[in-house]
A and B are shown apart, each in its own frame.
Chain A
Amino acid sequence: MTLPLILFYAFGAILIGSALAVVTARNSVHAALWLVLTFFTSACIWLLLHAEFLAIVLVLVYVGAVMVLFLFVVMMLDVKVAPLREGFVRHLPVGLLVAGVMLAEMLGLIGFGKLNEGGALVDAAAAQGLSNTEWLGRTLFSDYILPFEIAAVILTVAIIAAVALTLRHRPNVRSQDPSAQAAVRSQDRIRIVEIASANKETP
Chain B
Amino acid sequence: MIDQIQHAWTWLHSDAASAVLIFTTIKILLITVPLILCVAFFTLWERKVIGWMQVRKGPTYIGKGILQPFADVFKLLFKELIIPSEANRVLFYLAPLLALVPAFAAWSVIPFDAQVVLSNSNAGLLFLLAMTSMGVYGIILAGWASNSKYAFLGAMRAAAQMVSYEIAMGFSIVGVLIAAGSLNLTRIVEAQAGNGGMFEWFWLPLLPLFVIYFISGVAETNRAPFDVSEGESEIVAGFHVEYAGSAFALFFLAEYANMILICFLASILFLGGWLSPFPESWGLVGTAGWWWLLLKANFFAFLYLWFRATFPRYRYDQIMRLGWKVFIPITIVWVLVTGIMVYCGWLLPGE
* A contact set with B: CB distance below 8 Å: 29, 33, 36, 52-53, 56-57, 59-60, 63-65, 68-69, 71-72, 75-76, 131-134, 176, 178
Contact = CB atoms under 8 A, between A and B. Distances in A.
B317 A36 contact: no
B156 A72 contact: yes
A65 B317 contact: no
B122 A134 contact: yes
B144 A56 contact: no
Contacts of B156: 72, 75-76
A59 B134 contact: yes
Nearest to A29: B144
Contacts of A64: 129-130, 133-134, 136, 166
B126 A53 contact: yes
A68 B130 contact: no
B126 A57 contact: yes
Given A60-B129, A60-B130, A36 B121 contact: no
A176 B317 contact: yes
B168 to A, nearest CB: 13
Contacts of B122: 52, 131-134
Contacts of A133: 122-123, 126, 183
B83 interface: no
B166 A65 contact: yes
Q: Which of B126, B140, B156 has the most CB of A within 10 A?
A: B126
A29 B140 CA distance: 11
Contacts of B162: 68
14 contacts: A52-B121, A52-B123, A60-B129, A63-B133, A68-B137, A68-B159, A71-B137, A72-B140, A76-B156, A132-B122, A133-B122, A133-B126, A134-B122, A178-B318
Contacts of A36: 137
A110 to B, nearest CB: 27
A73 to B, nearest CB: 11
B290 interface: no
A133 B124 CA distance: 11
A59 B155 CA distance: 21
B317 A68 contact: no
A191 to B, nearest CB: 25
B163 A56 contact: no
A139 to B, nearest CB: 16
Nearest to B145: A29
Contacts of A65: 133, 163, 166
Contacts of A60: 126, 129-130, 133
3 nearest interchain CB pairs?
A64-B133, A60-B130, A59-B130
B321 interface: yes
Nearest to B122: A131
Contacts of A72: 140, 156, 159-160
A68 B127 CA distance: 18
Given A52-B122, A72-B160, 16 more contacts: A33-B141, A52-B123, A56-B126, A56-B127, A57-B130, A59-B133, A59-B134, A63-B130, A63-B134, A64-B130, A64-B134, A65-B163, A68-B136, A75-B152, A131-B122, A178-B318
Contacts of A56: 123, 126-127, 130
Contacts of A68: 133, 136-137, 140, 159, 162-163
A36 B317 CA distance: 29
B163 A69 contact: yes
Interface string B144-184: 10000000100110011011001000000000000000010
A75 B144 contact: yes
A121 to B, nearest CB: 21
B317 A178 contact: yes
Contacts of A178: 317-318, 321
Contacts of B129: 60, 64
B153 to A, nearest CB: 11
Nearest to B143: A75
A33 B141 CA distance: 10
Interface in B79-133: 91, 121-123, 126-127, 129-130, 133
B27 to A, nearest CB: 20
A36 B91 CA distance: 14
A52 B160 CA distance: 28
A153 B159 CA distance: 28
B166 A71 contact: no
A154 to B, nearest CB: 19
Contacts of B321: 178
A75 B123 contact: no
Nearest to A69: B163
A187 B129 CA distance: 46
Contacts of B160: 72
Q: Which of A57, A64, A75 has the most CB of B within 10 A?
A: A64
